[in-house]
Chain A
Amino acid sequence: MPKVKPHRSSPTLDMTPMVDLAFLLVTFFMLTTKFAPEEPVQVDMPKSHANFRLPDTDILLLTVSKDGKVFFGMDGKFTKQTLLTNMGNAHNIKFTPDQINRFAVLPSFGLPLSQLQSYLDMEADARKAIIQPGIPADSLNNELADWIIYSRLANPKLRIAIKGDLDTKFPVINKVIETLKSQDVNHFNLITNLIAEPGVNEPDNK
C-alpha cells in the first residue's frame, strides 16, 4: 500500500498585522514618553488622598531632601536665563553667556549663589560627583527668598510646589513655608503620591 502523504500546510504565517501594531505602539510610546529630569537627591514622597494633577508647565519645584537640604528647580529655558541674569545683577555676580546657557538646561540644583559659577563651569560628569549643600534658607542668609522673587518676576504664572521627603523634619519644611509666606505666596502645592480610597478621594481635575 502506498503511503498517504498528509498535505502539509506551510508553517509560515503572515505576521504583517502584528508588526504593524508593534510599530504603532513603538511610535506611540516614543512620542508620549517624557523622561524624568535628573534629580540631585532621591526623595521618597509621602502619600495623601489629594487627587489634583500637577500641571506640566510653569512649575517651581522646591525639593526638600531627607537631611533638610533645599533644592530649586524650574521649567522654561528662557525664563531661567532671565532669572539667572537678574539674580546675578542683584548679587553683583556677572554670569557669562555660557554659564547662563548651561543654567537654562540645569534640572535642579542646591547650591549657594557663591558656588554656582564654579559649578556651572564644570563638565556634566564632574557635576554629578559634587555633593550639593542645598540653598541657604535661614533667616540670616535667605537666598531661597531671592530665587523665589526673581523666578516669579521672570514668570508670573509660576505655581510653587514643594516636594518633601517623608522623613524631613518639620522645622525645615516650616522654614520653606515661612519663606514663601514672607513673599506673600499663600497658595502652594505639596506633591504627594496617591492613596486610592473610595469615597474619600477628591475628584480628579483632569
Chain B
Amino acid sequence: MSEVQQQGGGDKKGGKVRSKKQSTRIDMTPMVDLAFLLLTFFMLTTTFAKPKTMEIAVPEKPKDNAPKPPEVNEKRVMNLILGDKDKVYWWMGITKPEVNTTTYSKDGIRKVVLEKERDVAAIMRGLGKDPDKFPMVILIKPVDSSRYKNFVDIMDEMKITKAPIYALVPITADDKALIKDK
C-alpha cells in the first residue's frame, strides 16, 4: 500500500551521536479504503443530467377594450383534440369536419401536421394569398381526461414541426359530440 517515508528527526544536542531512527511508516490502508469508499459513494450519487425545460409562451389575457381578433379562413384551421387514453383526434375547418384519429408518435401527429401545413399552403396560394402570411392555425383542445404528458407531447410536436400559429383553446360541446363515437 501507499506509504510515506520520512527521515527521522535529527538530534538536537548536536553531537555526533545519532539518535535511533524510528520507523515513521504509517499503515495507510484504512485511509485509502475510506477514500475509495467515499469515491464510490459520490460517483454513484452524483447526477450529471440536469433536468431540461421546455419554454412556453402563452398569449396575454385580452384586455377589455382589446380589438376583436381577426377572422380566419376555416380552410387553414386545424382542430387537434387531445383525447382520452392517449388518442389524438384532428380535423380541418368547421363545416363538415372529418374526424381522424392518430397517435403522439413520430409517424402520427407529426406527419399529419407537416402534411396539412403543405396542403394549407397550397390552398392559400390557390386563393392568391401568401402562405407565409396566412399559415395554418392549430387549435389545441385537451379534453378533461387527457394527461399532462399529452399536453407536453403536443407542445413538443408543435416545436418540432415549427408550427407558426397554435393556441390552447378550451374544448366545446360541439367538439365533444364529434369525438364521442370515435
* Given A186-B58, A187-B57, A50-B51 contact (CB < 8 Å): no
Closest to A54 in B: B53
On chain B, which size bracket covers the interface?
35 or more
Docked-complex contact B144 and A52, CB < 8 angstroms? no
The number of residue pairs between A and B whose CB atoms lie closer than 8 Å in the complex comes to 145
Of A83-91, A126-134, A160-168, the segment with at least 4 beta carbons within 8 Å of chain B is A160-168
Contact of A167 with B2 at beta-carbon distance under 8 Å, contacts A45-B51, A49-B156 already known: no
Contacts of B127 in A (CB 8 A): none
In the complex, whether A191 has a CB less than 8 A from a CB of chain B is: yes
Whether B55 lies near A189 (C-beta < 8 A) is: yes
Contact A169 B146 (CB under 8 A): yes
A179-196 with Cβ < 8 A to chain B: 180-182, 184, 186-194
Q: Which of B54-77 contact A (CB under 8 A)?
A: 54-61
SS of B interface (majority): mixed
Q: Is the CB of A190 within 8 A of B56?
A: yes
Residues of chain B from 12 to 47 with CB closer than 8 A to chain A in the complex = 28, 32, 35-36, 38-39, 42-43, 45-47
Q: Is the CB of A200 within 8 A of B160?
A: yes
- Chain B residue at minimum C-beta to C-beta distance from A189: B53
Query: In this complex, what residue of B is CB-closest to A188?
Result: B56
Pair A14/B2 contact, Cβ less than 8 Å: yes
Q: CB distance A173 to B151 under 8 Å? A: yes
Q: A28-36, A137-145, A148-156: which one contacts chain B?
A: A28-36
Q: How far is the CB of B96 from chain A (nearest CB, A)?
A: 28
Q: Is A49's CB under 8 angstroms from B147's CB? A: no
Instruction: Please report the C-alpha to C-alpha distance between residue A194 and residue B156 in the assembled complex, in whole angstroms.
Output: 11
Q: Does any Cβ of A come within 8 Å of B137's Cβ?
A: no
Shortest beta-carbon distance from B123 to chain A in Å: 28
Chain A interface residue number, banded: 35 or more
| Cα(A158)–Cα(B148), bound, Å | 24
Q: Contact between A170 and B52 (Cβ–Cβ < 8 Å)?
A: no
CA distance A54 to B38 in the complex (A): 29
B45 CB to nearest chain A CB (Å): 6
Complex contact B56–A170 (CB within 8 A): no
Does A192 contact B145, Cβ atoms closer than 8 Å? Answer: no
Partner of A22, one of B35, B147, B159: B35
- Taking a contact as CB atoms under 8 Å apart, the answer to whether A190 and B54 are in contact is yes
B173 partner residues in chain A, CB cutoff 8 A = none
Report B9 CB to chain A, min CB distance, Å.
Answer: 23
- The residue on A at minimum CB distance from B34 is A26
- Which B residues lie within 8 Å of A18 (CB)? 2
Q: Is the CB of A191 within 8 A of B47?
A: no
Please determine whether A16 and B2 come into contact, CB atoms closer than 8 angstroms: yes
Partner of B54, one of A50, A165, A180: A50
Q: A184-B60, A190-B155, A192-B54 are in contact. Are A46 and B36 (CB under 8 A)?
A: no
Tell me whether A29 and B52 are in contact (CB under 8 A): no
Q: Which residues of A contact B155 (CB under 8 A)?
A: 48, 190
Interface string of B72-87 (1 = CB under 8 A from A): 0000000000100000
Residue among B36, B46, B61, B148 having the largest count of chain A Cβ atoms under 10 Å: B148
Chain A to chain B: the 7 pairs with minimum beta-carbon distance, closest first: A29-B42, A50-B54, A189-B53, A168-B148, A48-B156, A46-B152, A46-B149
Instruction: Pull 21 A–B residue pairs with CB atoms less than 8 Å apart, ordered by A.
Output: A15-B1, A19-B32, A22-B32, A22-B35, A22-B39, A25-B39, A29-B42, A30-B42, A46-B153, A48-B152, A48-B155, A50-B53, A161-B53, A170-B146, A170-B148, A181-B58, A184-B60, A190-B54, A190-B56, A191-B54, A193-B52
